[in-house]
Homo-oligomer: A and B are copies of this chain.
Amino acid sequence: MPKAVVSEEKRRRRRPTRGGRVLSERLIVDTALRLLREHGSSGLSARRLGLALDCDPSTLYRYFRGMDELTLAIGDTLIGQALSGWSPTGDWRDDLRALGRRIHQAYVAHPQAAVLTTSRVTGRANELAADEAVLGVLRAAGLPVAAAVRVYHAFIDQTLAFAALDAASLALPNAALRAEDEVWSTYARLPATTHPHLAEAAPLLATEMVLSAYPSALELLLDAVATRLAAA
């Protein structure tokens, strides 16, 4: 019960666990990501993490104040992955599109983790860097501060929102996935008298709904920004 967790830089003495591994924030987060992938979004627990790291669950509390703080760290790691290797080209439209796609993709690449962490503001390093990047692109494009903030808001919310939604359906355990398939094919069996449009659209729905609507939504937003820039 560390009242205060020692920050990663201040960490001095590294004692190995009984299994011989030396812990670190990094190692814990990576292992958590692995567990999430293997056991689904509800498959991460202090106990399982302890098992995987061969340490007592309570040890984790030396590194994070609780499972919630660990969750935030996982989220920040995802954003870090999204940004790694990116640099602005100078074309605001390309840059914004790339940032949006990268963030969306990073979350969707870890759906089980994304489910836990989207829609949480962490204020950690990588998230700050991402916000700074987006605002920088918009300001460089010529938007005044106030407008840039509004666009930034729509942009980041839209990206995270779609990421969350897309991740959620990807993260469903197999059983639930098959259940959702059932639902869509149920649509096909609906009587045309009560649900004519659903019955008509059913075959198309089954194929359309497995794709993400994010790319088209993103282009819509970019168009809107272009219009605003042209008007000024």
Contacts and interface: CB of A to CB of B under 8 A. Distances in A.
Interface of A: 118-123, 128, 131-132, 135-136, 139, 145-146, 148-150, 152-154, 157-158, 160-162, 164-165, 168-169, 180, 182-184, 186-187, 190, 195-198, 200-201, 204-205, 208-209, 211, 213, 216-217, 220-221, 223-224
A43 B187 CA distance: 34
A228 to B, nearest CB: 11
Contacts of A135: 197-198, 200-201
Q: How many copies altogether?
A: 2
13 contacts: A131-B187, A132-B198, A145-B204, A146-B204, A148-B197, A152-B201, A153-B211, A154-B216, A157-B213, A161-B161, A161-B164, A161-B165, A164-B165
Nearest to A172: B120
A165 B157 contact: yes
A128 B208 contact: no
